[in-house]
Homo-oligomer: A and B are copies of this chain.
């Protein structure tokens, strides 16, 4: 083979834009990864947030303590332009709640009201339960089978998107047929008598009925009763209600860009969490990994070409007002947002990033091919920690308003083995976050965000 023919073949076989970013940033990326893998400070911050501040739903005083602590921590890390953008957040209050089995016998069931649910009238609701496994079965029952009843969706776990529909749309679908309350099997693959909360989406055209999740075990048992034609009656009491909107905010800090401070790579997650558990995986790990990524870049004396901004968005769980408030706050500077990265899938071992591009593309969208190639070149730098996979799709709820307006968006992705075992429950506590996996998550967020903020080209 002549040298010329060899060169031609090599060019044909090599990916387009062969390994440019990979080669260019390898020394810096390795330095960042080494620093992240040796870091204990990030996990200590996460421990403080989870163990000492705890659950932090919109409207809870603990959320405001978390915001104050976050701003102070960002300042202590030497970051610039630490700010809290004011955000009015909905204040949903759970209150006392219970479900009591009445027929075939008396026994308290394991329950958790769904976020944003209305409460029951004082004294509660007692009703016969009809059990269905999906929307089709509900529709088949029709008004005749559902009116005046309490509907239980004993739906099978498939995945969060599909199964979560019963939590989100279930209450209004049942109300439309005359149901007086809704119960669902918790949205999780694991049965450990732990009910899972999460927000519902009322259809404003339908009556608002109270809604709660049962543990998988209890839902399955009621399903067996129904299958055996054993009549089921329950008593539901929920004091859930809305208080007036509360004052809260998005917290942010920066490393200003050395050449183009007006151009921004924004990374982060959401600071709020459900009122049960400690919001360790969802999304304490996301915000603290984002912060620590930026803090380590700062500590290493690195200053990327563009501004690197970390944001802790508020109210992701039951309103999304933090993401919208950030979008409103940046105004037409949205065009200077070079990339947005959200980490909101927990800090189990990171496997890489989803990239969906900008231009209003949703999850699962395929981004611009050249931009995807650049992100993949950065991904290669993370192969040494198993986090180099770059796939289509990506983004996150909080950066949705940016993605909608064309900002190229990425979502950090973990292996997600147990995430939905713990999600929105009492069990989302610090012990679920493995320190080594967390350090790798910090490394992944740091390398991806640094290179995106520093590389000559911009994604599109």
* A426 interface residue per 8 A CB criterion: yes
A431 and chain B: residue at smallest CB distance: B220
User: When each residue 158-171 of chain A gets 1 if its CB lies under 8 Å from chain B and 0 otherwise, what string results?
Assistant: 00000000000000
Q: How many of chain A's residues touch chain B, expressed as a range?
A: 20 to 34
Q: Which residue of B lies closest to A224 (CB)?
A: B51
| A217 and B107 form a contact (CB under 8 A) | no
Q: Does A407 contact B (CB under 8 A)?
A: no
Quick one: given A51-B221, A217-B427, are A191 and B432 in contact (CB under 8 Å)? yes
* Chain B CB within 8 A of A377 CB: no
A224-B430 in contact given A54-B107, A107-B54 (Cβ < 8 Å): yes
* Interface membership of chain A positions 408-435, coded 1 if the CB is closer than 8 angstroms to chain B and 0 otherwise: 0000000000000100011101111000
Task: Tell me which residues across on chain B come within 8 A of A217, comparing CB atoms.
Answer: 426-427, 429, 431
Those of A87-107 within 8 Å (CB) of chain B: 104-105, 107
**Contact of A110 with B by CB under 8 A:** yes
Given contacts A51-B225, A225-B51, contact A427 B193 (CB under 8 A): yes
Asked if A76 CB lies within 8 Å of chain B CBs, one says: no
Which B residues are CB-close (under 8 A) to A221? Answer: 51, 429-431
User: Smallest CB-CB separation from A219: which chain B residue?
Assistant: B431
Residue of B nearest to A422 (CB): B192
Answer whether residue A112 sits at the interface, using C-beta atoms and an 8 A cutoff.
Answer: no
A194: interface (CB < 8 Å): yes
Query: Are A425 and B193 CB-contacts (below 8 A) given A217-B431, A220-B431?
Result: yes
When distances are taken between beta carbons in the complex, the residues of chain B under 8 Å from A191 are 427, 429, 431-432
The answer to whether the Cβ of A75 comes within 8 Å of any Cβ in the partner chain is no
How far, in whole Å, are A43 and B3 apart by their CA atoms in the complex? 73
CA distance in complex: A394, B233 (Å): 45
Q: Does A47 contact B (CB under 8 A)?
A: yes
A251 within 8 A of B: no
A186 to B185, CA, bound (A): 26
Q: Which of A51, A54, A225 neighbours the largest number of chain B CB atoms within 10 Å of its CB?
A: A51
Q: Does A33 contact B (CB under 8 A)?
A: no
The chain B residue with its CB closest to the CB of A216 is: B431
Q: Shortest CB–CB separation between residue A157 and chain B, in angstroms?
A: 12
Tell me if A258 counts as interface (CB < 8 A to partner B).
no
* Across-interface contacts of A54 in B (CB, < 8 A): 107
Determine how close the nearest CB of chain B comes to the CB of A40; give it in whole angstroms: 13
A52 touches B (CB below 8 Å) = yes
Instruction: Bits for A51-76, please: 1 = Cβ < 8 Å to B, else 0.
Output: 11010000000000000000000000
Most chain B CB within 10 A, of A107, A193, A430, is at: A193
A193 to B421, CA, bound (A): 12
Q: How far is the CA of A240 from the CA of B224 in the complex (A)?
A: 33
Q: In whole angstroms, what is the CA distance A70 to B47 when docked?
A: 51
What is the minimal beta-carbon distance from A457 to any residue of chain B, in angstroms?
A: 45
Complex-state Cα separation, A432 to B220, whole angstroms: 11
How far, in angstroms, from A80 to B162 measured CA to CA in the complex?
53
In the complex, what residues of B have CB within 8 A of residue A107's CB?
54
Q: In the bound complex, what is the Cα–Cα distance between A190 and B432 (angstroms)?
A: 11
The chain A residues found within 8 Å of chain B, CB to CB, are 47, 51-52, 54, 104-105, 107, 110, 190-194, 216-217, 220-221, 224-225, 421, 425-427, 429-432
Extra pairs beyond A191-B429, A217-B431, A220-B431 (12, CB < 8 Å): A47-B224, A51-B221, A51-B224, A110-B426, A191-B431, A191-B432, A192-B194, A192-B427, A193-B194, A193-B427, A194-B194, A216-B431
Some 12 contacts from A to B, beta carbons below 8 A apart, are: A51-B221, A51-B225, A52-B105, A110-B426, A191-B431, A192-B427, A193-B194, A193-B426, A193-B427, A194-B194, A217-B426, A221-B431
